[in-house]
């Protein structure tokens, strides 16, 4: 698209010249030459815009002479219009370039901030292998309201996947808050439920209105053991002996930020995590993606199809199938975190 915009002024000038010559005597096509510098302003710099303007004026004089109307008085109004358009277009081109430089600077700062929020996940943490795939719904962003985090602690590896209600800068700000509290509390607190409590207290002080955060926290305190605390989040999927099952909480509770409204406290569920098992944590941007018929993406079925695939390629395949299901673009942020305990 940008290449087409770059060559469009050349093509337009050539077309106008051919039409003017083929139309015979008269200057009725001469005023169209003013479009060349204005088209150039969309893609080129001020110097190139001025060059197009000068070329258009010279070409107009030559076409006027060829048409038998070389009178300066006759051509002056039209060519003056070309000159005015050239000056204005050059100014707009300079303004566009300045704003583009500012946008590049802002985006570089934003990308650095986004990378600080969602730090890269290592390929291995303790005895576990990790793989992550994240897609923000906003094309100009690399992070949104979905978040993930993995930390190695004195109590074993711990992981978080969460989904902040809403989108935009407010969601990113809340995501940064959640991750900050999780990374600190996960390292300090021996009990995973205490990590959840600290996150809840922090969110209760900082969230506004009816905002909330769905979250699932997992811990691996010792080989073969998986701890899960689910606060209103979509169900993690456990792959055991090539069979996929959803891990339902023994006592469902609302999302973080709303726990004070519930009678029940979050519960810590413990399941076996044998060699070769995999755990998939994700957000509802994955399971709520719809195709043209309104059908949701069947994540559990697709994971079942690929549960024997190589670990490193599983999320890439799932993400590709997700995009195909949703027509190539997601309407919501989507995070996938796959954890495996390698077989012996």
**Could you tell me which residue, 257 or 343, shows the higher pLDDT?**
257
DSSP state of 149: E
Length of the chain: 344
**Helix ranges restricted to H, 28-145:** 35-40, 46-66, 72-117
pLDDT digits (tens, 9 = 90+) for 156-172: 999 999 998 866 667 77
In contact, 71 and 111? CB cutoff 8 Å = no
d(Cα 243, Cα 240) in Å, to the nearest integer? 5
pLDDT digits (tens, 9 = 90+) for 209-255: 678 999 999 999 998 999 999 999 999 999 998 899 999 999 889 99
Confidence of residue 137 (pLDDT cuts 50, 70, 90): low
Return the pLDDT at 166. 65
The answer, yes or no, to whether residue 21 has pLDDT greater than 80, is no
DSSP state of 120: P
Structure tokens at 47: 């110097």
pLDDT digits (tens, 9 = 90+) for 216-229: 999 999 989 999 99
| All structural domains of the chain with their residue ranges | 2-112, 121-340
What's the number of CA atoms in the CB half-sphere (13 Å) around residue 62? 11
| Neighbour-count burial for 97-129, b at 16+ CB within 10 Å, e otherwise | eeeeeeeeeeeeebeeebeebbeebeeebebbb
- If 0-12 CB within 10 Å is exposed, 13-18 middle and 19+ buried, where does residue 242 land? exposed
CATH H-level, domain 121-340: superfamily: PPM-type phosphatase domain (3.60.40.10)
Confidence of residue 1 (pLDDT cuts 50, 70, 90): very low
Confidence of residue 29 (pLDDT cuts 50, 70, 90): low
Overall pTM surpassing 0.75 (yes/no)? no
């Amino acid at each position: 698209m940008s290449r087409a915009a770059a060559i469009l002024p050349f093509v337009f000038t050539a077309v106008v010249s051919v039409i003017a010559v083929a139309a015979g005597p008269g200057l009725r096509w001469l005023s169209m030459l003013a479009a060349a510098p204005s088209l150039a302003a969309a893609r080129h710099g001020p110097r190139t815009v001025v060059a197009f303007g000068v070329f258009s004026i010279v070409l107009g004089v030559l076409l006027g002479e060829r048409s038998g109307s070389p009178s300066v008085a006759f051509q002056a109004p039209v060519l003056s219009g070309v000159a005015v358009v050239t000056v204005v277009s050059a100014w707009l081109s300079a303004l566009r370039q300045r704003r583009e430089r500012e946008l590049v600077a802002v985006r570089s700062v934003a990308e650095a901030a986004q990378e600080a929020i969602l730090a890269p996940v290592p390929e291995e943490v303790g005895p576990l292998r990790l793989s992550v795939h994240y897609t923000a719904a906003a094309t100009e962003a690399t992070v949104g309201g979905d978040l993930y985090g993995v930390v190695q602690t004195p109590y074993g590896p711990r992981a978080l996947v969460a989904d902040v209600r809403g989108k935009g800068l407010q969601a990113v700000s809340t995501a940064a808050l959640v991750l900050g509290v999780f990374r600190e509390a996960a390292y300090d607190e021996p009990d995973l439920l205490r990590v959840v409590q600290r996150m809840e207290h922090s969110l209760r002080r900082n969230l506004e209105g009816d905002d909330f955060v769905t979250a699932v926290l997992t811990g691996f305190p010792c080989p073969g053991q998986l701890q899960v605390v689910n606060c209103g989040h979509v169900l993690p999927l456990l792959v055991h002996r090539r069979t996929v099952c959803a891990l339902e909480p023994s006592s469902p509770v609302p999302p973080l930020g709303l726990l004070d409204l519930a009678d029940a406290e979050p519960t810590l569920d413990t399941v076996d995590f044998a060699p070769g098992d995999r755990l998939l944590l994700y957000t509802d941007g994955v399971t709520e993606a719809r195709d043209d018929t309104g059908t949701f993406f069947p994540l559990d079925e697709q994971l079942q199809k690929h549960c024997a695939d190589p670990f490193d390629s599983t999320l890439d395949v799932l993400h590709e199938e997700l995009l195909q299901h949703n027509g190539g673009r997601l309407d919501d942020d989507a995070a996938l975190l796959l954890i495996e305990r390698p077989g012996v």
